[in-house]
Amino acid sequence: MEISTQVICLLFATHHTTSSVITFILKYLAEFPDVYSKVLKEQMEIAKSKGPEGFLKWDDIQKMRYTWNVANETMRLTPPVQGTFREAITDITYAGFTIPRGWKMHWNVNTTHRDPKYFPDPEKFNPSRFEGKGPRPFTFVPFGGGPRMCPGREYARAQVLAFIHHVVTRFKWEKVDPCEKVAYNPSPIP
């Protein structure tokens, strides 16, 4: 039971999350041609600098700034992980409720990412939110925060950006069903 629990956890943590982000980046790129053009431009410049046989290197990943902003805006609106659990280490008061020390709490990614105080017009897909210094600390938390923050985040970034690079430089696509609904299971899937 212990081994199977660990394996399922690993599959969820590594596969569901990354594949969900990639899926929704493709969805948003199909919906916003202006965003798609900028991603394509950035990725074509990198592809041209490498030639047909050149492999992507770590330095190339660092150049994919706009594409990563698009990935971040995707994770803001459709976060792969909906939150995790924490334990109150002291008595705290939040929104008029007292939470005693030792209680377990669930912190929620979706509502944090849709707070209009930090993300004006929160429902709008706008990758420019991540330009410059980007959102304030702990307002954008797709990978969590603090000592238990996702240890796979840099690997996930490289994987997502490499995948998007190869897709946009080879294919153009459109949504088959423009009214496709999103289900949460627990990561979002079409």
Contact positions vs ligand HEM (CB under 6 A): 13-14, 17-18, 21, 80-81, 84, 142-146, 148-152, 155-156
Query: Which of 18/69 has CB closer to ligand HEM?
Result: 18
Q: At closest approach, how far in Å is the CB of 52 from ligand HEM?
A: 29
DSSP 56: P
CB of 160 to ligand HEM, least distance (A): 7
For the bound state, the minimum distance from the C-beta of residue 146 to ligand HEM, rounded and expressed in Å, comes to 6
Q: Which is nearer to ligand HEM, 44 or 182 (CB)?
A: 182
Contact 68, 158 (CB under 8 A): no
Cis peptide before 186 (omega within 30 of 0): yes
**At 176, phi and psi to the nearest 5?**
-70, -45
What is the rounded distance in angstroms from the CA atom of residue 188 to the CA atom of residue 84?
Answer: 16
Nearest to ligand HEM of 18, 67 (CB atom): 18
Contact 116, 139 (CB under 8 A): no
Residue number, 81 or 168, with CB nearest to ligand HEM: 81
